[in-house]
């Protein structure tokens, strides 16, 4: 029998100026130059890949004999070579890493195409996520694959998902046996956001679903401020936790002068005299 094949499908973009993280830039409602946002996205992408590969080391010990691979999926196809070069220049030489492209007329179709390619290549379990999650931990990846392994015993498979901070999902995946796809999720005809759209679809099919701890991503300035505090905490805690910190993102935030978040004093509080009597 072939060994169980586990795939982490990382959806990503080439960090091109003016085409990534534009909501953080002056092109939209952000405060950074497009060049700065592109370099920040590149740092997050490489850090997320580092964390995933570090989690694979622990998963291989947890599931001996199984295969783990990281598939960096990007679009359009013309960017494939440049994406490979980006990782090579960053020093990635891991044999568990490969690159692919996904295609379609919508997010739903792109995701369906990438999943179909992985299953056609022999994947048994897929966990997928985006590359803009600097607070991703090895524990998040391990919990995701642990849940998928438990769902392998379900007759019809099942899905796992982790919410983001804005009614969407940051991690989604399912087993080969699961009759499920992304159609109608990112472009839901009834106005559902991504998280409830996945849940409603799984419920309509009677599929088991496993809830994973939320992992925030970075789209808006508010998202970035939240993630700055998480990156600061993760970097400090990493030596005590024995985990991989988001070192590139932390350095980039420092170079941007954004490695700390300060807010105005909040006077919207109940008077202590009333609470304490």
Pairing of strands 125-130, 67-74: unpaired
What is the per-residue pLDDT for 277?
Answer: 67
The structural domains of the chain, with segments of one domain joined by +, span: 5-216
pLDDT of residue 196: 96
User: Which of the listed CATH numbers 3.40.640.10, 3.30.420.40, 3.90.550.10, 3.30.930.10 matches domain 5-216?
Assistant: 3.90.550.10
Task: Please check whether residue 223 is in contact with residue 216, taking contact to mean a CB–CB distance below 8 angstroms.
Answer: yes
HSE of 143 in the Cβ direction (CA atoms, 13 Å)?
Answer: 16
All residue ranges of the chain with pLDDT < 70 are: 275, 277
Within 10 angstroms of residue 152's Cβ, the number of other Cβ atoms is 14
Distance CA 4, CA 141 (A): 17
Cβ atoms of 128 and 8 within 8 Å: the answer is yes
Running DSSP on this structure, what letter comes out for residue 257? Answer: T
pLDDT, tens digit (0-9, with 9 covering 90-100), for 165-193? 999 999 999 999 999 999 999 888 889 99
Looking up tokens 């044999």 gives: 95
Identify the burial level of 35 via C-beta atoms within 10 angstroms of its C-beta, where 0-12 means exposed, 13-18 middle and 19 or more buried. exposed
Q: For tokens 């959806």, what's the residue? A: 11
182-241 pLDDT, tens digit each: 999 988 888 999 999 999 999 999 999 999 999 999 999 999 999 999 999 999 999 999
Alpha-carbon span 221 to 237, nearest angstrom: 24
The H helix count followed by the E strand count for the chain is 8, 7
Handedness of CA 97, 103, 106, 109 (dihedral sign): negative
d(CA 260, CA 257): 8
Map residue 53 onto helix, strand or coil.
Answer: helix
Among candidates 245, 220, 216, which has minimal Cα distance to 232? Answer: 245
Identify the CA nearest to 125 among candidates 147, 105, 103: 147
CA distance 102 to 118: 11
Q: Is the dihedral of CA 257, 258, 259, 263 positive or negative?
A: positive
């Amino acid at each position: 029998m072939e060994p169980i094949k586990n795939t982490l499908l990382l959806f990503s973009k080439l960090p091109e100026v003016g085409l990534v993280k534009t909501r953080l830039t002056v092109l939209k409602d952000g405060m950074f130059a497009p060049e700065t946002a592109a370099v920040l996205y590149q740092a997050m992408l490489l850090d997320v890949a580092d964390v995933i590969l570090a989690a694979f080391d622990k998963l291989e010990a947890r599931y001996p004999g199984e295969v783990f691979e990281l598939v960096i999926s990007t679009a359009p196809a013309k960017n494939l070579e440049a994406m490979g070069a980006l990782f090579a220049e960053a020093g990635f030489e891991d044999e568990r890493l490969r690159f692919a492209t996904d295609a379609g007329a919508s997010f739903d179709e792109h995701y369906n195409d990438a999943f179909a390619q992985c299953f056609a290549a022999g994947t048994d379990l897929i966990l997928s996520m985006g590359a803009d999650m600097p607070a991703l931990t090895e524990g998040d990846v391990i919990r995701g694959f642990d849940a998928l392994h438990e769902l392998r015993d379900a007759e019809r498979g099942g899905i796992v998902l982790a919410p983001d901070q804005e009614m969407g999902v940051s991690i989604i995946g399912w087993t080969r046996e699961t009759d499920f796809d992304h159609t109608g999720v990112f472009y839901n005809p009834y106005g559902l956001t991504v998280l409830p759209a996945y849940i409603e679809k799984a419920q309509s099919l009677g599929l088991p679903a496993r809830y994973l701890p939320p992992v925030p991503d970075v789209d808006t300035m508010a998202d970035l401020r939240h993630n700055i505090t998480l990156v600061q905490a993760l970097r400090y805690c990493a030596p005590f936790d024995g985990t991989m910190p988001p070192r590139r993102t932390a350095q980039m935030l420092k170079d941007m002068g954004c490695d700390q978040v300060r807010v105005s004093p909040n006077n919207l509080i109940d008077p202590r005299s009333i609470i304490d009597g």
